[in-house]
Amino acid sequence: MHDPVRLTSHLYQLGTYQFPAYLSIGEIGMLIEGGTGPTTQIIVEQIKKLGFPVEKIQYIALTHTHADHIGSIPRFKNMWPWIKIIGSVKGAEILKNNGILKEFLWIDKNIAELMKKRNEIDKVPEPLQEYDFTVNIIVKEGDKIELGDGIVWHVYEAPGHSPCHLAYYEEKEGSLIIGDATGFYVPEKDVFWPNYFDSLNAYLDSIKKLSELKANIGALS
């Protein structure tokens, strides 16, 4: 069992170390990151352990639309029919394309098999009859997501790793969720492996912009 990790009084890391998601708690809750199919049940159990009512979780905010960051979305939509998915206009356009499903299923299955091999899950999740990735709320730079209790997330566009990439900054506690905007962290070597799949110039501009926020916590995913 992967325990939830308390980052601040209003923010928890869920999922696994390699495939994390984040639960922000105000008067209502928001998950940040779409996770993977096999981490869905892990996240559900972690939320139960925290004792936070799932019906108060109103949003899931996507950082970007790569397969390892959207896998839990169709499963949560099945479990929580009230949930609203937040993403960028480019992300919403990408997720409307039915052509992404074949690649997504292949990647998500490989992730599940890897997690089973590592004993992080007991079995590979059963496939769904339908995979709904619809983005319900389009956001752009400068928009705010208010959760109550003073918790307000500011949206920043952070392309480079992908053209649809977003980052989220919560000013009250100085929390910054950056997804893959800065690349992949390799803890064994304490280095970042650069992942500018879309544009090196945009990638560097995004890193510079996010660094100027002077966050207390920078959370990768």
What is the pLDDT confidence band of residue 220, given thresholds at 50, 70 and 90?
A: very high
Closest CA to 117 of 219, 7, 18, 6: 18
Judged against a pLDDT cut of 80, whether residue 36 lies above it is answered with yes
pLDDT digits (tens, 9 = 90+) for 129-161: 999 999 999 999 999 999 999 999 999 999 999
196: Cβ–Cβ under 8 A, 6 or more apart, which residues? 160, 161, 183, 202, 203, 204
Judged against a pLDDT cut of 80, whether residue 73 lies above it is answered with yes
Residue range 54-74: mean pLDDT, rounded: 98
Residues β-bridged to residue 144: 154
Q: Is 51 left (phi over 0), alpha (psi -120 to 50) or beta?
A: left
pLDDT of residue 122: 94
Two structure tokens written together for 212: 């100027």
Judged against a pLDDT cut of 80, whether residue 31 lies above it is answered with yes
Judged against a pLDDT cut of 80, whether residue 1 lies above it is answered with no
Strands (E) across 20-140 are located at 20-25, 29-32, 57-61, 84-87, 137-138
Number of C-beta neighbours around residue 8 at 10 A:
16
The whole-model pTM stands at 0.95
Could you give the domains of the chain?
Answer: 5-151 (3.60.15.10)
DSSP state of 27: S
